[in-house]
């Protein structure tokens, strides 16, 4: 019943174990219509930041639009790095290309990478910058992250463990035509508290009419297209089908169109 996997990782993410082709073949075997490749765009990958490290991300236009019958979208999962909701790469200028030619027009790395993506998932991994933040600030942080034009999805807000006010974030997502992620991986090894938060988020999205995106967050091909735990929660809470933007290819592409970022 869920025909898209909108958050998946390949070998590029360094702590993931499959190639893109292995992921796509598995997506086809699972009967998926659409697969998004969303490797990490984050300081967790390399000890230093250099444009050469990111060519794997920004050359993804090389990928076929359809492979093994599956529509591919290329994106990334970008870290939110400050309380203003900026993404990794903010204030890091890209001054030269991968062969050392200087750019005349200098962009920040976040802008440079986001411009090459079909869409971006904004998530929090390293959260030390939120340590002293008030609830109002973390709430604002998530809302501002959605102001980035290419950010379509707020990733695993239940598992990240940053306290924030749920309703304002969900209502902002609805207003900005962005999606809240329901992430299968969050149900795997998370604490009972995190699982409770994920359920509460799903329930509230249903009540407020906020569209969601269900994803595996697979870090190995055998997890692609597996959403059993999220699907069970959605069934238990009688979640409205029409709010699941990732239910099929057409609905996900129209959610992208509503957000103003048709691929
Ligand atoms: Zn990861
Ligand atoms: Zn993540």
> For residue range 65-80, what is the model confidence (pLDDT) as tens digits?
999 999 999 999 999 9
Enclosing domain of residue 160:
4-258
Return the pLDDT at 189.
75
Burial (CB < 10 A; 0-12, 13-18, 19+), residue 231, is: middle
Q: b or e along 193-224 (b: 16 or more beta carbons within 10 Å of the residue's beta carbon)?
A: ebbebbbebbbbbbeeebbbbbbbbbbbbebb
Ligand whose nearest atom lies closest to the CA of 157: 2
C-alpha span between 203 and 260 (Å, rounded): 27
Residue 18 in domain: yes
Ligand whose nearest atom lies closest to the CA of 153: 2
Q: Residues with Cβ within 5 Å of ion ligand 2?
A: 123
86 Cα: distance to centroid of ligand 2 (angstroms): 16
Q: b or e along 112-144 (b: 16 or more beta carbons within 10 Å of the residue's beta carbon)?
A: bbbebbbbbbbbbbeeeebeebeeeebbbbbbb
Residue 263 in domain: no
Q: Which of 176, 184, 225, 167 is nearest to 22 (CA)?
A: 225
156 Cα: distance to centroid of ligand 2 (angstroms): 7
**What is the domain-level CATH number for residue 198?**
3.20.20.140
C-alpha span between 78 and 42 (Å, rounded): 6
Return the pLDDT at 1.
84
Tokens, residue 209: 């009419």
pLDDT at 227 over 90: yes
260 Cα: distance to centroid of ligand 1 (angstroms): 27
Residue 99 in domain: yes
More confidently predicted of 190 and 9 = 9
Average confidence (pLDDT) over 89-118: 96
**What total number of domains does the chain contain?**
1
> For residue range 6-47, what is the model confidence (pLDDT) as tens digits?
999 999 999 999 999 999 999 999 999 999 999 999 999 999
Residue 198 in domain: yes
Residue 28 in domain: yes
CB 23 within 8 Å of CB 60 = no
pLDDT at 149 over 90: yes
Residue 61 in domain: yes
101 Cα: distance to centroid of ligand 2 (angstroms): 33
159 Cα: distance to centroid of ligand 2 (angstroms): 9
Ligand whose nearest atom lies closest to the CA of 121: 2
What pTM was estimated for this model as a whole?
A: 0.98
Helix (H, G, I), strand (E, B), or coil: what is residue 137?
helix
**Kind plus residue range of the DSSP H or E element containing 105:** strand 102-108
Return the pLDDT at 182.
97
């Amino acid at each position: 019943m869920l025909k898209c996997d909108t958050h998946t990782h390949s070998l590029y993410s360094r702590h993931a174990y499959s190639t893109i082709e292995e992921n796509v073949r598995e997506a086809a075997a699972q009967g998926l219509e659409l697969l998004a490749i969303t490797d990490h765009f984050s300081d967790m990958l390399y000890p230093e930041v250099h444009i050469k490290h990111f060519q794997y991300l920004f050359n993804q236009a090389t990928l076929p639009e359809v492979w093994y019958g599956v529509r591919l979208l290329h994106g990334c999962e970008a870290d939110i790095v400050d309380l203003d909701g900026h993404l990794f790469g903010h204030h890091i200028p890209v001054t030269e290309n991968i062969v050392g030619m200087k750019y005349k027009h200098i962009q920040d790395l976040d802008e440079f990478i986001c411009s090459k993506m079909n869409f971006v998932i904004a998530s929090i991994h390293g959260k030390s910058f939120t340590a002293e933040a008030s609830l109002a600030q973390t709430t604002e942080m998530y809302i501002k992250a959605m102001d980035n034009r290419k950010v379509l999805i707020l990733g695993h807000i239940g598992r990240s463990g940053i306290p924030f006010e749920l309703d304002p974030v969900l209502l902002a997502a609805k207003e900005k035509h962005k999606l809240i992620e329901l992430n299968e991986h969050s149900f795997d090894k998370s604490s009972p508290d995190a699982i409770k938060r994920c359920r509460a988020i799903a329930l509230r999205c249903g009540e407020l009419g906020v569209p969601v995106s269900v994803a595996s967050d697979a870090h190995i091909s055998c997890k692609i297209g597996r959403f059993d735990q999220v699907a069970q929660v959605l069934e238990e809470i009688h979640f409205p089908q029409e709010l699941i933007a990732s239910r099929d290819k057409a609905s996900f592409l129209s959610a992208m169109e509503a957000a103003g970022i048709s691929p």
